[in-house]
Every structure is written in C-alpha cells, then in structure tokens.
Amino acid sequence: MTTRVDRHVCRRRPARRGARAGFTLAEIIVAIVILTIGLLAMASTSGAVARQMTGARRQTIAATIAQSRFDSLTSVRCASLAPSSGTTSTVTSGSSTRSGVVESWTVTDGDDVKNITVSITFSGRSTPLVYRSILPCRDSNQ
C-alpha cells in the first residue's frame, strides 16, 4: 500500500509596489514638522508686512503734509518769504502740530531761489522725515 502524499506547493505572492495601506509614523512626523515651519514663516512674514504698511502710511501722511506746506509757500511772494541778503541764512521758519504729527519748516535764501525744508516727526518715531524743495523766484522784486 502506497500512500500518496500531496505536496502542497506554497507560492508566495510577489509584493506589490506602491500599494500600501497608509503612512508610517515617521512620514507623518516629517510632514507635521514641514507644515509647522511653513506656518511659522508665514506668521513672521505677516508681522513684517504689517510694520511696512505702518511705515508706508506714515510716509504718505508726511508727504501730504510736506506737499501742502510747499504749495502754501509757493503762493507767497519770494520777497515776503525771506528777504534777499548777501549770505544764505534761515530767515523764515515755523511749526505746527496736528494729531501727534509735528511739522516744522524753514525757508533759506539762495541765488534767485528759496530753499524750503519741511521736517515731519511722528510720535513714537525718533527720526523725522525730511523733505526739501527749491522755489524759483520769479518776482520782479524777489
């Protein structure tokens, strides 16, 4: 009597590449770290943009005030702004304060021109914003 033993051939299936069921813990941690770094960079950038916008707003206000002063001094005759003298000297000056913004201006006499300097200082800012302009004298009596 012979017994027949069936051999069961066990075949291994080849592993499929790319067909995983999920992420590993290491991949999740790396993704979280990258996301955190990106969010922190965005937060610091938004702070810098806010500071720049505040500075731009101040510069816009200062330029508007200075332009207003230049326009008002342009409408005055040169002879009454700063009498001509042989040397360059500060003859006319003034200042005003509005809403925490201090404006000071000077007019100096030049050769057939008046040099106008307007200085704008904001509260909370130590250095003033300075604007300069030259006013040509077209008066017959300067």
The DSSP secondary structure of 13-30, one letter per residue, reads PPPPTT--SS--HHHHHH
Burial class (CB within 10 angstroms; exposed 0-12, middle 13-18, buried 19+) of 27: exposed
What pLDDT is stored for residue 84 in this prediction? Answer: 60
Query: Rounded CA gap, 52 and 118, in Å?
Result: 23
* Residue spans of the chain under pLDDT 50: 90, 142
pLDDT for 82 equals 67
- Supply the pLDDT for residue 142: 44
- What pLDDT is attached to residue 10? 57
pLDDT in the model for residue 4:
61
Query: Is the entire prediction scored with pTM above 0.85?
Result: no
Distance between CA atoms of residues 142 and 140, nearest Å: 6
**pLDDT confidence of residue 5:** 56
